[in-house]
Structure 1
Amino acid sequence: SPQLSPAGSPQPHPCHCQGLEKGNFTYCPTAGLAVGNEHSEFAGWAFPFPGVFVREEFVSQAEESEIVQLMDQDDWKLSQSGRRKQDYGPKVNFKKKKLKAGGFIGLPSFSQEIVRRMKAHSVLEDFFPVEQCNLDYLPERGSAIDPHFDDWWLWGERLVSLNLLSKTVLSMSCDSEDSLQLFATLSQGICENSDRHNIDYSFPPRLVPYKDITVAIHLPRRSLVALYGDARYKWKHAIYRKHIEHRRICVTFRELSAEFTLGGKQEELGKALLEIALTFQGKPV
């Protein structure tokens, strides 16, 4: 297997927070802010956007190549919206809220190191995935996914995805009729560190409806993203066709909800499924 760089070692990178997207706001990972795009009516404005963790170069080029090669040895099934998929997880009927192991025998072996490496980051140190879904996007198929929330009954707070083969944009939107408070920023332009996007609290804030705001989270090739908190439960996420320029594979990991963990009504079932998942001996179901 390719050698991995030390887990948790800092990776310097430019901040992808300006000039890349013609929407309203772009997420700046170094500042934790959604920053108004310079050609929009919100230039010079920003607001805190919690619940997003982005880690660039989470895997190396050699690892990426090996992972995709291993995936392509198994069959891909046609999925919705021009995508193909491979599922590793329990058999679920979301309408009836029924769950059983079915043919699930674990997550794939190549994910063991990915999961281990996640735990080097505080936001994921107690993340135990019970399901993995590989999604294959191609521009020729019009691959995309509309704004949505992932299920809340079965899946827990953190959604974790590894973005392979090409960059893309995760588009965040909120249907709420409530108002969002925007703050003036002390600086604009491309930033190299969080100091470049400090909020100017001396300037009166501006109120706008949530539904008028979109936030672009730029996902470089080989980056890892985790959504939790408001980014998971308040904001819908989508991938639009215009942001699929080349083949892209998304590896999404999900954890169990409170109902299936310690003290939950279905704790024993959850424990059994997690034990299966973490054998890392699985094939797509």
Structure 2
Amino acid sequence: MADGYIPSFNCGCKGIRTCLRCEAQKSEQHLLQENDLIQYDFTYDPVSKTAVREEESGSRQSYAFPGVFLWENFVSEDEERELIARMDQDVWRESQSGRRKQDFGPKVNFKKRRVRVGDFTGLPAISRHLVDRMSKAPRLASFKPVEQCNLDYDPERGSAIDPHLDDSWLWGEHLVTINLLSDTVLTMSLDGGWGDVEHGEVRVAVRLPRRSLVVLYGEARHRWKHAIHREHIRGRRVCSTFRELSAEFLQGGEQEKLGSELLDLALRFHGAPL
């Protein structure tokens, strides 16, 4: 990037998060620079469901890595084109770290643990057949999404998402993401050592092919943080993440009534982005 160049897109960053625009304006640098690329201890093997470590000697260490389900070619090329075309007909709103977003979900204040219907009208119509297809996998047979978040990543904006754990007060066991337009890498990280790495942060690279679906559950959902780093956005990438309700909002839970109302709205598939 030339000195003084400021990308033409708007910036939605807050706090410590940055994109290329606010970095150019504030002369600040992103935590991940091009000459400081992420180093991985393991690579996830979806066939054996293990994290594999290749040694310089040629030896191979592998450890069970439960909680990741990868479904390659979940959507076809024609479906991908239709999905992106339909999304681009709606408004993309600026989000943090160079992303744009479309939200289909209830109004939530996670700090105060408050959720209300607000203007939520359900998931988008085009997602009905996707949710139906998900249910064909045994892992997702009972999955009933109540929120869909579409995110648009672009290398020209410096798009990324920092390592994080998704909320578990409102959101349930499964996080389901469809990866569109380009391959990327989902970085799983854990502090304190793991496998044959005794100390420090451990990173596992989970490669996400274009048009694939990935599910995080169990330890991969609740213990390991996940991220998409800037270096792994080489072209436009759009993803749709679907979330289900936690037990507190399901039958027998303290907020069962609200949860039932939200699910009823979500699964009518009449929604518009908020």
TM-score by length of 2: 0.84
Task: Give the corresponding residue for 2:273.
Answer: 284
Task: Give the corresponding residue for 2:102.
Answer: 86
Give 1:80 shift.
0.5
Q: 1:23 to 1:180 in 2, by over 3 A?
A: closer
Match of 1:135 among 142, 151, 174: 151
- For residues 251 and 262 of structure 1, the distance between their equivalents in structure 2, rounded to whole angstroms, comes to 27
Quick check: 1:254 aligned with 2:270? no
Whether the aligned pair in 1 keeps the contact of 2:187 and 2:226 (CA below 8 Å) is: yes
Whether the aligned pair in 2 keeps the contact of 1:106 and 1:277 (CA below 8 Å) is: yes
Give 1:25 shift.
0.6
Task: Give the corresponding residue for 2:208.
Answer: 219
Give 1:45 shift.
1.1
Other structure's SS at 2:162 match:
strand
Give 1:81 shift.
0.4
Give 1:248 shift.
0.2
Give 1:42 shift.
9.7
Amino acid at match of 1:26: T
Whether the aligned pair in 1 keeps the contact of 2:39 and 2:203 (CA below 8 Å) is: no
Quick check: 1:35 aligned with 2:52? yes
Quick check: 1:151 aligned with 2:170? no
Instruction: Tell me the alpha carbon deviations over residues 176-216 of structure 1, each in whole angstroms, 9 at most, x when there is no partner.
Output: x3x5344xxxxxxxxxxxxxxxxxxxxxxxx623x342100
Whether the aligned pair in 2 keeps the contact of 1:25 and 1:42 (CA below 8 Å) is: no
Instruction: Tell me the alpha carbon deviations over residues 122-153 of structure 1, each in whole angstroms, 9 at most, x when there is no partner.
Output: 10000000000000000000000010000111
Q: Aligned-residue CA RMSD in angstroms?
A: 1.6
- For residues 71 and 214 of structure 1, the distance between their equivalents in structure 2, rounded to whole angstroms, comes to 32
Correspondences of 1:131-280 after superposition (within 5 Å): 131-175=147-191, 177=192, 179-182=193-196, 208-209=198-199, 211-280=200-269
- For residues 154 and 250 of structure 2, the distance between their equivalents in structure 1, rounded to whole angstroms, comes to 36
Whether the aligned pair in 2 keeps the contact of 1:25 and 1:35 (CA below 8 Å) is: yes
TM-score by length of 1: 0.80
Amino acid at match of 1:27: Y
The 4+ residue runs of structure 1 with deviation greater than 4 A are none
Give 1:118 shift.
0.4
Identify unmatched segments of 5+ residues in structure 2: 1-37
Quick check: 1:26 aligned with 2:16? no
- For residues 82 and 58 of structure 1, the distance between their equivalents in structure 2, rounded to whole angstroms, comes to 27
The structure with higher relative contact order (CA 8 Å, sep 6+) is: 1
Quick check: 1:122 aligned with 2:143? no
